[in-house]
Amino acid sequence: MRGLNYSSDGSLPEQDLLELADLLACQLFERMGPKVALLSRRDVAELVEPYIDDLSEHDRRTVPWLVWDLFQEGSDGDWAEG
């Protein structure tokens, strides 16, 4: 990620956070399918933690929320019926 090049505190820029959350959400969806919509925010945080443990504290709190939100948005669509 390019975040360290643009941030003095080690946080990723918003666009990088969104891209990372997107990638993690896609990987989890590939493994679990529509069941991801049933995950709690805590479940998501535990699943993505190994992939984000080197991020700043703020980013480590933000990414699971973004991933969980993507799952909730997706659950409103056709894939969750599946």
Tokens of 38: 């049933």
Q: What is the mean pLDDT of residues 2-30?
A: 82
Q: How far apart are CA 47 and CA 28, in angstroms?
A: 8
pLDDT at 11: 87
The tokens describing 27, both together, are 């990987």
Tell me the pLDDT tens digit for each residue of 44-81. 999 999 999 999 999 999 999 999 999 999 887 655 45
pLDDT of 7 over the 70 cut: no
Q: What percent of the chain has pLDDT over 90?
A: 74
Yes or no: say if 62 and 68 are a contact pair by the CB < 8 Å rule: no
Query: How many other C-beta atoms are found inside a 10 Å radius of the C-beta of residue 45?
Result: 18
The pair phi, psi for residue 50, each rounded to 5°, is: -60, -20
